[in-house]
Every structure is written in C-alpha cells, then in structure tokens.
Structure 1
Amino acid sequence: MQGNTCLAQCATKISFSLTTALTQPACVTELNLRGQNLELLPPSLERLQRLRLLFAHENHLRHLPSNLAQMDSLRVLFVNKNSLLDLPPAIGNLHRLRQLQIEQNMLTELPPSIGGLDSLRYLMGAYNNFTSLPEQLGQLARLEYFDVSHNQLLFLPASLGSLRSLRYVYLNDNKLQSLPAHFADLTQLEELNLSNNQLEELPASLGSCQNLKVLILSGNQLKTLPKSLSKLQALEMLILNDNQLTALPRSLRKLKKLKTVIVKQNAFTPAARRQAETALPGAKLYF
C-alpha cells in the first residue's frame, strides 16, 4: 500500500534533475542527463528501480557504475558520445533492455555477458576500438539492428549466423578480410553494408539472404562476385565502387527487382560495360 500511495503522489509529467530523481526514486521512469559534463554516474542510481529510459549521452563518462546492471527495469540506455573504456561485466543482467547505444566511445571489447540481453533489438556500437566481438553475441535472438561500423574488426564471430532476426547490419569501415560462412541463416536481412574493409571474396552463402534489398561492398578488394548473388530476388540496390572487378556475373539478370548498380572505379573494359548494360536492362548502371 505504501508503494501505491507514493506512485499516486508522482506527477504525471515532470522533468527530473539527477538530484531530484534520487529523492523521489519511485516516481522516475525516464531520466535525461544528456550533455551535463558528467564524469561519473553515482552508484545510488540503482535506487531508481522503475527507471525505463536512461539518457546519459554526450558527457565525459569513462566507466559506468557496476550496479547499473541491477536496474532490470531499463528498456533504453544511451551512453554514446562519452569516453567509456569498458562496460559493466554483468551488463547482460539487463534482460528487459531493448536498445543499447554505445557508439563514439573508447571501448575495445564487449563483455561476454552481452549474450544475456535477450530482449535487445537495437545495438549501436560504431566509432569505438573493437578488434573482435564475443561469440556470445550470437545469443541475441531478437536483435534486428546492428551497427559496429568504424571500428578495427579483423573478423566476425561464427555465431553471427545465429542472429536470425537481423534486418539491418552495418559493418563498414573495419578491417575485415573474410566473412563467416553462415550468412545463409540471416533470412530476414534487408540491408548489409560491408564497405571499406579488406574483403577479397564473398561467401556463396550470402546468396541465401532472400530478403536482402541493399548490399554495399564499396572499397574492398573484390575481383569477382559469387554466382549465388543471383538468388537475391529482393535485391534493389548493389553498390560496388572501388574494387577490382572486371565484369559482373551474367546471372545477375535474374534479379528482376534490381534497379541501381554502382560500380565506379573498377576495371571494366568497354565490352564488359556493354555486356552488363545488356544483361540488366531494367537497372540503372553507374560506371
């Protein structure tokens, strides 16, 4: 009864400062600490047991309090644009978390417990210093949006193929030399950006991503494309600038929805250009 009385006294719409929030912990479901030059979050934050949305981006945080992982009511956590060196080891205890924004920090790894975020749908980790990702990432069965672009990734975990809810994946501007063979399992994938890596070939299994609409492969070292790309019946846009291609597979003519093909700064001969234009009369080609 006491808790219900406290909730009844809470204002329906109120903007809390951090100090005020900690004096009325039962009333706070959203806390916006954006751009307040904070260097740390107080451990007492865990008193906000009803907190669902925490916005602490654009500060100077280097670490997060370890007991943040005990705030199991959290749905959204923004800590992007800080100076974070690590995440709490037990962050995987946030089983209700749906959106995690950690981009533009100084992170070098994700804790293995990340696999425990079984409600996570959006993970934004661009502009950090990741060189690898944990295999436990493959446990995020509900993940739909995944951005780890602009890092230092050398390879991807084999478990990536287990993320069968993925729709949007951004791996551009890393140092990837190869891809896992299990792309065939990413049947919901709609957009994949692999530009500006060091890829020399693509796995044939990529052709099994039946819902893929946008495929961006610019800035790699591709000399050929797998014939299996002709299975991408939903593909609408294919971008291949800055590679070492000399021709496009004739099998691409099977892609009836393909409308835009950009292949600037490759090694196409005039004959190869004419052949591509003849094979893809329904697409606009940019050489």
Structure 2
Amino acid sequence: MSSKTILVVLDGLNYQVAHDCMGYLTGLIEHQRATLYKIQSELPSMSRPLYECLLTGISPVNSGIVNNDIVRLSNQDSIFSLATSQGKTTAAAAYHWVSELYNIAPYHATRDRFTNSKQLNIQHGCFYHWDHYPDEALFLDAEHLRRTHQPDFLLIHPMNIDDVGHKFGLDSRQYRNSARTADIILSNYIDDWVNDGYQVLITSDHGMNNDLSHGGNLPEERDVPLFVIGERFTHQASDNIQIKQTDICGVLCQLLSLKHNKTYPQELLVL
C-alpha cells in the first residue's frame, strides 16, 4: 500500500516548546487524530548534517556532512533519489541547502530557486536563501507545489523558528511565539492534506539553547518532536516505540512503498 506523504521540518524546534506551545497539534492529539513522540537528533546538532540525516537515514559522522559549510551533493540514497528512481513524483519547498544536497551544488538563486525537471531528484522545487523568509510564504509555496503537481512526496521546510532562536534564544517569548505561529499556519492546511490522502509527519532537525545556538549534546539542542497524522500510523503510545532520527527516511520509504534498505520502527506503521 502506497500513500502520498508530506514531511514538515520545522527548523530549530525544541521538543518541550513544541509540546507546550503548539495548541492546534495538541488538539489533534487530544481528539486521537495525531500522536507526538520525542526523538533525539544525531550529532552534531546542526542543520545541514541533520537535513542529510532525516532525508537519507545516515548519521552525520557516516554521511560526511558534518557541518553547515560542506557544500556538495549527497552521496547517499535519499528519499528523493529512491522515490524518483521508482517512478514517484517529488517536490520540496525548502531552504537552499536542501537543493545543494539533492539537486545541484552550489546553489545559484537565478538558476535553482524554482525547479521543474523530471531529471532532478527534487523534481518540483521552490527554494529560498533568506533565514527570515516568512513561514507563511513558504507554506504557500508548498501548497502551490502540492496542488499543481500532486507529488507523492513533499518536503516542507520553514526557517523562522530557528532564525528567531538564534536572535533571542530558547527561553524567550519570541522563540515560543514563533512555534505558536507555525502551529497556526499548519492549522490552515492539515485537514486539506489529510482529505487529499496524505500521511503527515512534522518534526525538526535540532532544537535550540540559551546561547542562541545549537550543535552540541544538550537535551534542549537534541530533543525534537515528531508528530504523526494519518491512518497509516498505529498511534501507539510513545512508551511502546523507540524512534531514532535515522529512522525517519525509512518510515517515509515504507509509506511510499519504495524498495530500500533503511531502518524504521515497524511498530509505528500499519502494515
């Protein structure tokens, strides 16, 4: 059974802030329409290494993408390469580092900001290169891609939570309110996605600390949420399932019925 799937990566979102501040998603949980799990990011808890981890299932120390300044194409099987090679349609509204990992490196905005090519791993893309690019605009970009191309797999990757965290830190009203804003934006789309047959995963690459940064081993830097929405998930209690960040790619592959060798927790999915 193959299901269209959306992965939302809310960059820089700490688990506890997600748990405390995202009222719409928590409402879905209370009405048994979603489940929240705590997962721990791989190390270093930095963005580009963890994009690669989420989208390939390979930890940074094994992928070689070990800091944000490594600009090259991924040399791993990714959800994008596996999907396109097996006849699926892919799309992403995401930060330009994702384009550099899976389409073309280095990124040139005039060439790569908008992509529409069956030859690329991310066939339909809208990429941005400003950390303050409004989340509201990014979700509109994603919804345009979804409605226009009906992708089997869509990545949505907004940056404002991380951007605000770097300016004001974890324990700030600005950071918490940026998570609340993302929650409100999501409330405008999730019902439409589910009604159109999509399974939805909402997670983060890493958290944030009070030094206005991340990258290390502190729980606030590594603990991130994973919300799952859809009938393909068992919605078992978090005590019964151990989910690693390296499992996310395998979960996506299973939902899309792809042939793959990625790890995933069988207990999370309805077979």
TM-score using structure 2 length = 0.26
The structure, 1 or 2, with the larger RCO (C-alpha pairs under 8 Å, 6+ apart) is 2
Structure 1 length-normalised TM: 0.25
Looking at secondary structure, tell me which structure has more helix per residue: 2
Larger Rg: 1
